[in-house]
Structure 1
Amino acid sequence: MQATLQRDSPEPEGPVKDDVDMMLDELEQNLDAAALGRRSDLMQVPELADYLKYMKPKKIAAFKGFKRAFFSFRDLYLSYYQTSNDINQAPLGHFSLKGCEVSPDVSVSQGKYQIKLLVPTAEGMTDFVLKCDTEHQYARWMAACRLASRGKSMADSSYPQEVESIKNLLHMQSATNGRNENSTARRSSPVKLPSDFNVDEYVSQRYVRKARSKQALQQRVADAHANVRQLSSTEAKLQYIRAWQALPEHGMHYFIVRFRNGRKADLIGVAINRLVKMNMDNGESIKTWRFANMKKWHVNWEIRHLKIQFEDEDIEFKPLSADCKIVHEFIGGYIFLTMRSKEQNQTLNEELFHKLTGGWG
């Protein structure tokens, strides 16, 4: 917010400034000082530097496991060196994480804190896995990777909130498993479940099949409930939403399509900020196109094709599992959401919404 006091002509000599003028002058000085402080902060670009373990899964040497190196994260770039003494020399590797795919591989009970990256390079999409030692280290590096994938650095105001959100999710998992090594607080007393409690109504069948017994699952549900029962209804809903948003591939919608000149069907995922071509056998990402790099898109209603023009290439495909109008509405709707301001009092631009979802993207 900026306040500017404008005067059409110099203030006449004579009367002393009244209280309103003095308060406006003081406000202007305070805002100028705050702006100067913000500019000073931006000159100091945040940086992460630490020893981490890494692995390139698709390389022949991957069977040897993780290697240790010194990593530096600055702006949108990740670099790594043999040791910290080599920081001023050429790095062993250097990546821009803008547009990359970031997914967690975490098991708090096993002390496993890994970050899976799928980085766009000249050779195509490159797999890269970072292994952190602690929850705190994981939260900071994971938050930096997520922001960089969206084209934002750690100087962005959302970085601290991203770190805290990741820590809160880890804390929930830690409490659910009965292990919270970073906290000395006592665990909440378990909740007594009703006698007719049916675990099948609360837990996915794939977890029911893996569990030792339904009694063990009921105990985990009771423990998890104990950790949130002190929250208000609104706080519980917000915590649920944050945990849901932190899940891998959150908000991804899948469609089977056939690309132009393609011989077989492909799987694509439409997310809030990107379009992803995926492997139909294992769900791995093959290529990512960011909406931020999109110039325009067009729907050919006669042949039911979508043509999308990006900065570096054009793609065209025909949806097979749904009407092209559905895919078009997802793309246009997500772009509309990214253009919305965080201000709650922002007026809904219905004309823009219908333009983006109605077929004239």
Structure 2
Amino acid sequence: MKKKFLMLLMAGMLGVFSLAGCSSFEEDEVVMTVGEQKVTADIANFYARYVQAQYETYYSAYLGEDMWNSEAAEGKTYEESVKDSVLESLEDMVVLEAHMKDYDMSLSDEEKKIIEDAAKKFDSVNALEDKEKVSGSEETVKRVMTLMAIQKKMQSKIQEGADTEVSDEEAAQKSMQYVLFSYKTKDEDGNTKDMTDKEKKEVDKKAEEFAKGVKDAEDFEAYAKEKELEVEKGTFDSESKSPAEALIKEADKLNEGEITGVVKSDYGCYVAKVTSMLDREATDARKDTIVNDRKQELYADTCKEWRKDADIKVDQEVWKKIDFKDLKVTIREEVKDPYSNNVETDDVADAKKEAEENAD
């Protein structure tokens, strides 16, 4: 594992928390057992608060003041959803630790020293009352950091087994130029609104005239500019959704140099020209995406299989005592790694994307 990742991980743990409320559990209570390995409430609480703090600090703008009671999925609040994710992450970390020997993997003395120093720093910069509320003793912080570091190293090791060979055929991305004749317009105040049916018919007529004329033009883009129309460029395959599924469906039938007729969508009419059957840059980027997807799938499947094989028991009564709604946790001071602007965990990155989509 690269040293800079460990430094980044530690930086994410070194915030100063702002707290209110109190815990109602004993820290030595067992939240979960994985085989013979016990996860006590202090470990579960500190990791949960670490994730909660990132949500509270960075994503409350998307989710609102009552974020933990808001719906994340049908019948499930954000608190329930995030706590489920936290619990699964803890299960993963423990089973990954148990399988370290399978990959001849260990933390180096240097990595252990970084964790130890970071735990001591966390202990020194946070008030005792605050640390007690998040179970942030030096030993607990050190244990959670160790589990997180092992998880990252094991993830990399497991993903080394993914197939990285991707053919041009599998990843092929075509390219096109297109013009959108939009069904949107603006009112006197500059606000976007839908056109009337009469206005849409005029747009359809304009699109038909363009489609007819451009078929005889030598240059799609030049002809569009001559008609004072804006040309967009894009890459696609048969599974693409943007800019419109109907357009992708029609363009995917064509050979290089061929032009669609007028393709209607909810947003307007499109006319497009296929400019390449294999866009090199987009195809190579798609290959990277496919390889990354394979790595993520291999890692997720491995963890899932190991969790299935492990004898995992969760004490839901103890776990329920870790309540996000009664204890507010935020990061007052963020310490960043000099190599990166990103301090979020994978779980939180996914949650941010989900929050943004829900906000839309």
Structure with greater strand percent: 1
TM superposition score category, shorter chain reference: under 0.3
- Normalising by structure 2, we get a TM-score of 0.22
- Normalising by structure 1, we get a TM-score of 0.22
